[in-house]
Structure 1
């Protein structure tokens, strides 16, 4: 993981699906878990979704709070 990825989690939006337009950091855990089971998309989006799944699954969402306050 690279530190810039954390910033991308709070700025990038989901480009498709039920949660289109929602910031990746705000996606619900069950949606991230679905991707974990079914497979993450290729490229940057998949990498960010996988990272957000790890953060959410391990209860580390508070790591993103200081970035949101900037």
Structure 2
């Protein structure tokens, strides 16, 4: 699953992460993916860790582009 992090005020994309939290035992919430993306963005120094409210998170839905 991909998570896009954007500036909440300008909508400018900061980064899109591919997140793999596969679990056959329980259903993961979008928030689980957002938390992992946030942790990565802080580690990569792409965001200010003290200002999480200034960012928004979205699940990126990818469309398969096959021909039939």
**TM-score of the aligned structures, taking structure 2 as reference length:** 0.33
**TM-score of the aligned structures, taking structure 1 as reference length:** 0.32
Higher helix share: 1
Which of the pair has the greater relative contact order for Cα pairs under 8 Å at 6+ separation? 2
- Please tell me whether Structure 1 or Structure 2 has the larger radius of gyration of its CA atoms: 2
